[in-house]
Chains A and B, each alone.
Chain A
Amino acid sequence: MSLEYYLVLSALLFTIGVIGVLIRRNAIIIFMCIELMLNAANLAFVAISRDLGQVEGQLFVFFVMAVAAAEVAIGLAIIVSVFKHRETINVDEVNSLKG
Chain B
Amino acid sequence: MNAEMILFFIFGAVALIGAIAVISFRHPIYSALSLIVTFFAQAGLFVLLGAHFVAAVQVIVYAGAIMVLFLFVIMLLNLGTLSAKGALTGKLKGVAIVLGILLAVQGIYIAVKAGNNTALESAQASTEPVTTYKIGELLFKDYLLPFEVTSLILLAALIGVIVLVKRDKQIEN
Give the docked Cα–Cα distance between A29 and B33 (Å): 12
User: How distant is B106 from chain A, measured CB to nearest CB, in Å?
Assistant: 8
By the criterion CB–CB under 8 Å, are B111 and A10 in contact?
Answer: yes
Contact with A along B133-148 (1 / 0, CB 8 A): 0110011000100100
By the criterion CB–CB under 8 Å, are A12 and B96 in contact?
Answer: no
User: How distant is B19 from chain A, measured CB to nearest CB, in Å?
Assistant: 4
Q: A43-B42, A80-B76 are in contact. Are A8 and B112 (CB under 8 A)?
A: yes
The reply on A94 being an interface residue by CB < 8 A is no
What is the interface residue range for chain A against chain B? 35 or more
User: How distant is A76 from chain B, measured CB to nearest CB, in Å?
Assistant: 5
By the criterion CB–CB under 8 Å, are B8 and A1 in contact?
Answer: yes
User: How distant is B95 from chain A, measured CB to nearest CB, in Å?
Assistant: 8
Chain B: interface secondary structure?
A: helix
The reply on B157 being an interface residue by CB < 8 A is yes
By the criterion CB–CB under 8 Å, are A36 and B111 in contact?
Answer: no
By the criterion CB–CB under 8 Å, are A3 and B135 in contact?
Answer: no
By the criterion CB–CB under 8 Å, are B69 and A8 in contact?
Answer: no
The A-B contact count (CB < 8 A) is: 240
By the criterion CB–CB under 8 Å, are B160 and A77 in contact?
Answer: yes
Name the A residues within 8 Å of B22 (CB-CB): 16, 20, 29, 32-33, 36
By the criterion CB–CB under 8 Å, are B54 and A61 in contact?
Answer: yes
Which residue of the partner chain, among B54, B82, B126, contacts A62 with CB atoms under 8 Å?
A: B54
By the criterion CB–CB under 8 Å, are A9 and B16 in contact?
Answer: yes
Nearest opposing residue in chain A for B39, CB measure: A39
Give the docked Cα–Cα distance between A39 and B135 (Å): 20
Contact with A along B20-64 (1 / 0, CB 8 A): 101100001001100100110010011011110110011001100
Give the docked Cα–Cα distance between A28 and B107 (Å): 26
> For window 57-97 of chain A, which residues contact chain B by CB distance below 8 Å?
58-59, 61-63, 65-74, 76-81, 83-84, 88-90, 92
**Residue from B57, B73, B97, B160 with most neighbouring chain A CB atoms (10 Å):** B73
Give the docked Cα–Cα distance between A22 and B51 (Å): 32
Q: A5-B115, A9-B16, A29-B31 are in contact. List 6 more A-B contacts (CB 8 A).
A: A1-B8, A15-B100, A16-B100, A39-B38, A46-B51, A61-B54
**Which 8 pairs, one residue from A and one from B, show the smallest C-beta to C-beta distance?**
A4-B115, A11-B107, A7-B111, A22-B96, A70-B157, A53-B124, A20-B23, A19-B100
29 of the cross-chain contacts (CB-CB < 8 Å) are A5-B12, A8-B108, A10-B107, A15-B103, A16-B20, A16-B22, A22-B95, A25-B88, A28-B73, A29-B22, A29-B31, A32-B31, A39-B39, A43-B42, A43-B45, A50-B51, A51-B120, A61-B51, A61-B54, A62-B135, A69-B66, A70-B154, A70-B156, A73-B158, A73-B160, A77-B161, A79-B77, A88-B82, A89-B79
